[in-house]
Amino acid sequence: MFLKLTKHLFTIFLICLVLVISLELGLRFIDPPSLSYYRNIKLLHRFHPDYYVTLGKNIDINIKHYAGLWEGRFTTNSLGFRGSREPDPNTRKIACLGDSLVMGFGVSDQDTFCNLLDGVTIDGEIFQTQNLAVDAYGSLGSAKRLEESLTKVKFDTVLFFVSPNDFTVPPGLVEQGVQADDIVEKARENDEGYRRKFQIQFELTRHSYLLQASKLALEQLSIKRHLANKEAIQEWEEAKEPLQYISSSFYTFPEKNNCNVSSIDLKPICPEAMPSHIQCEIATPKANDLEPLPEETIYAYNKMLKASKKYGFQLVIVYIPMQNEDIFCNQRNQHSSLYNYVIRSKEFFTKQGIPSIELLEDSRTICPLSDYFIPGDGHLTQKGNLWVKDSLVPKLQKLRGSRAF
């Protein structure tokens, strides 16, 4: 009886093993676009024992967005810096520090603004750039990435690009339980249990198509469940007014479009009409009227300040308008509350004597936005990266001329 049971279990095990291997090989062969995108991103990265995720060294891989929004070649040098030449010990260096926007999601190596800055001449001196940015980093991840990089390369200037995701989260994401990057990074900094679990799942999903697909499926199911619950609650609230609910649900028809103009003949109207959901404010608030920076963010900023003193580089803070609301409101001489993260961050660094650069005013010439920011993705296009580079250079030259760095 025992031998018979063992034989049955062994048979079931073999069937399961064959099924798993078949699924793994099948996914590798089919390589669906959605899985291929996340798969290649995972292959670009490596686990890091201190700050969890970093970029692999000497990588060369092509990544195509799963919805076809963009495609680009991603390479790294021997230090794991994206699209950067090997550091030249005889050339002064600028480091670009930040998240995916700085790393250059959306374009190939040569089109990232950090790469476009490479070889720039400032006050008669030529600078080489190194792109330290890694997607999804908050302030703490950037600070630790910088500290480690400084043990290998001497930087004269570090440009830290602050992201609104670092310490602020849009209300819609807050409802889904999403926390700001700085809070997440600080909470897991000394959590050894989480670190071990993260490393195991990271390595397993990096080597297995099937496990990667399973992880993505679970994440999507979780998001859809949350959205379904939210929609069900909204339907219930609307159903409390039966007549209006029936009218809006069953007697709403699409508007007729009588325009016969070809899309080829259409030209963008500048400035663009502001979307109805965007709300602007007349007055710009002062830092004292806003919430102070989270302790987690201050902790990360202080690490950068200590590193600048220890290694003798000039830290420069850069603010790129990353949200449509920022640009639309500014083009109308108004203020978007989403831009308050800049006011809060800049107040801290100004008190520490750290210079900063804002590109918001330069965004007045941006039109249409879809030429500069990838619709539905938010990262910079080739033209957007060139705009950042062209906006940055004169401001860096001005800082250099004023001996601010």
Nearest to 279 by CA among 324, 218, 345: 324
Q: What is the pLDDT of residues 257-273, one digit of tens each?
A: 444 544 455 566 777 88
Residue 72 and residue 103: Cα distance in Å, rounded? 12
Instruction: For tokens 């004023």, name the residue.
Output: 402
In the DSSP assignment, the letter for residue 121 is: E
Residue 96 and residue 17: Cα distance in Å, rounded? 46
Q: What is the pLDDT of residues 367-400, one digit of tens each?
A: 999 999 999 899 999 999 999 999 999 999 998 7
Which CATH class, in words, describes the domain spanning 30-196+281-401? Answer: alpha beta
DSSP output for 71-97: EEEEEB-TT--BT-PPP-TTSEEEEEE
Burial bucket for residue 343 (CB in 10 Å: 0-12, 13-18, 19+):
middle
Q: What is the pLDDT of residues 53-97, one digit of tens each?
A: 999 999 999 999 988 999 999 999 999 999 999 999 999 999 999
Label residue 13 by pLDDT band (50, 70, 90). confident
What kind and span of H or E run contains 48? strand 45-48
**For position 28, what pLDDT does the model report?**
72
- The predicted model gives 150-171 an average pLDDT of 93
User: Is the sign of the CA dihedral 66, 69, 72, 77 positive or negative?
Assistant: negative
**For position 219, what pLDDT does the model report?**
66
Q: What is the pLDDT of residues 232-245, one digit of tens each?
A: 566 556 655 665 65
| pTM exceeding the 0.85 threshold for the entire prediction | yes
Q: What angle do CA 40, 45, 50 make, to 5 degrees?
A: 160
DSSP helix/strand/coil, 134:
coil
Nearest to 215 by CA among 55, 365, 41: 41
- The predicted model gives 103-109 an average pLDDT of 97
Q: What is the pLDDT of residues 170-222, one digit of tens each?
A: 766 666 677 899 999 999 999 999 999 999 999 999 888 887 777 767 766 66
Q: Fill in the amino acid letter for 247.
A: S
**For position 310, what pLDDT does the model report?**
97
Instruction: Judge whether residue 126 has pLDDT over 90.
Output: yes
**For position 233, what pLDDT does the model report?**
60
Instruction: Judge whether residue 111 has pLDDT over 70.
Output: yes
Q: Fill in the amino acid letter for 30.
A: I
Q: What angle do CA 223, 229, 232 make, to 5 degrees?
A: 140
Instruction: Judge whether residue 107 has pLDDT over 60.
Output: yes
Within 13 Å of residue 214, how many CA atoms lie on the same side as its CB? 12
**For position 259, what pLDDT does the model report?**
46
